[in-house]
Amino acid sequence: MLDVPVVLLEERALNNGLVLAMATLNNERALNSLSLDMINLLLPAMQRWASDERVVAVFLQGAGEKAFCAGGDVRRICTGVRENGIDDPYAQQFFTEEYKLDFLIHSFPKPVIVWGQGIVMGGGIGLMCGASHRVVTETSRLAMPEITIGLYPDVGGSHFLSRLPGRLGLFLGMTGVSLNAGDALFAGFADYAVASDRRQAVLASLTSLEWSADTMEHKNQVSMVLQAEQCPDLPVSELQPRIAQINERAAADDLPTLHAALTAPAADDVWMDRTARTLAKGSPTSAALILRQWQRGRDMSLVDVFREELTLSTQCARHPDFIEGVRALLVDKDNAPAWQPATVAEVTEDWIAGHYVEPWQGEHPLSNLV
């Protein structure tokens, strides 16, 4: 039986010798979770398409209907560290290549359409957030629930969460709340909502489009196609009516006060109470890192964000909570992580500062990111 590629690459012929490039994350069984093998196929393809004058746009999707991309290959990082110790190289390799791909999408010179159907989490958010045309459907569920596995919202989260209005980005990072399509539009994680059964119609419209000879018009042309398919029947946003309450609960700038406010029970609001319970069960170290990344990220360039996040993410794999959180949730599945430190009160400045120490010798692995 032949191996099926984990990323399907296609160049669909258009008029005048042009092509629409397509990439499909092809591991439906794992909800198209992003692996290093996937990145090693997708990154060079995207680099090639960026400079190929025949390519007018890129369409990025996930196989099947359940998920665009349900996160990154954190299970592989966890098992590598458990088997080989903290010097196992996979974490640094994975995050380095992932962030190169994410940054390329942010800076891509042509339209990138991401079809964010179904589950979009973690690494999927990283692929989606930098795209020029981000599409959700009535089935979309977006989240960055790294608080539950001892990580933090990486893949550029320090940049885009810190730039959301008010305290919304801080709230999203701390609570890992799941967003529906209405929430995604309200929070600025998506640009268009299209019915899930219109994917092939959108592709047909893009294929039959009379693409302008002026490449500067291509983004507008894609926008017009997606605008014509806008779906009015969306789940109602849970965020929008609660934004004042969210800003109030997330108002504090010090971790103990912020954590206490966000974990306070909300008996009269099931949705808000769920966010409180998620944070209460999450990693105290992650909570401290999330607050710091939100505070620092607003004054950092995107390049500097990815460089700092590579340090943080690699260090998280060398500290106990990330490995323990993935073990408890995804490997052993006992849902009983033993966080170290166990409480917010025990998280020290020196402990958090240790996560910002570059763990490699010599040149930064993302020193050439421009």
pLDDT at site 233 = 87
Band of the pLDDT at 2, cuts 50, 70, 90? low
Query: In whole angstroms, what is the distance from residue 106 CA to residue 143 CA?
Result: 19
Q: Which helix (H) or strand (E) holds 205?
A: helix 199-208
Chain mean position to CA 300: 18
Report residue 41 as tokens: 């196929």
C-beta neighbour count of 36 within 10 angstroms: 19
Report the C-alpha dihedral over residues 40, 97, 128, 289, rounded to 10 degrees: 150
Q: What local confidence, expressed as pLDDT, does residue 344 receive?
A: 98
Longest dimension (CA), the chain: 64
What's the pLDDT at 1? Answer: 43
- Rounded to whole angstroms, the Cα distance separating 150 from 161 reads 18
pLDDT confidence of residue 370: 83
Least confident of 73-77, 109-113, 260-264, 292-296: 73-77
What tokens were used for 107?
A: 């800076």
Does 154 participate in catalysis according to the annotation?
Answer: yes
Say which of 62, 71, 72, 157 is annotated catalytic.
72
Q: What is the mean pLDDT of residues 222-241?
A: 95
Of 71, 123, 124, 182, which residue is the catalytic one? Answer: 123
Long-range Cβ contact pairs of 143-146 (< 8 A, separation 24 or more): 143/176, 143/177, 143/178, 143/179, 144/172, 144/173, 144/176, 145/121, 145/176, 145/178, 145/278, 146/122, 146/173, 146/176, 146/286, 146/290
Q: Is the dihedral of CA 269, 271, 272, 274 positive or negative?
A: positive
14-59 pLDDT tens trace: 988 999 999 999 999 999 999 999 999 999 999 999 999 999 999 9
pLDDT score, position 289: 98
pLDDT tens readout for residues 328-366: 999 999 999 999 999 999 999 999 999 999 999 999 999
Angle, vertex CA 308, rays to CA 302 and CA 314, nearest 5: 130
Domain 7-356 adopts which CATH fold? 2-enoyl-CoA Hydratase; Chain A, domain 1 (3.90.226)
Question: Mean pLDDT throughout 189-205?
Answer: 97
- Whether residue 188 has pLDDT greater than 50: yes
Catalytic status, residue 72: yes
Distance CA 367, CA 303 (A): 9
- Tens digits of residue pLDDT in 161-185: 999 999 999 999 999 999 999 999 9
Long-range CB pairs of 112-115, under 8 A, 24+ apart, other chains included: 112/57, 112/58, 112/60, 113/57, 113/58, 113/59, 113/60, 113/206, 113/222, 113/226, 114/60, 114/61, 114/68, 115/59, 115/60, 115/61, 115/62, 115/68, 115/199, 115/202
Q: Which of the residues 73, 88, 102, 154 is marked catalytic?
A: 154
Number of Cβ within a 10 Å radius of residue 304: 16
Total-model pTM: 0.97
- Of 73, 146, 191, 321, the catalytic one is 146
Has 157 been annotated as catalytic?
Answer: no
- What's the rounded mean pLDDT across residues 266-272? 94
CA distance 138 to 129: 18
Structure tokens at 61: 């999707």
Q: Identify the pLDDT of residue 15.
A: 85
pLDDT of residue 3: 81
Residue type, 249: R
Average pLDDT, the chain: 96
Q: What are the tens digits of pLDDT across the range 115-138? A: 999 999 999 999 999 999 999 999
How many Cα atoms sit within 13 Å of 57 on the Cβ side? 27
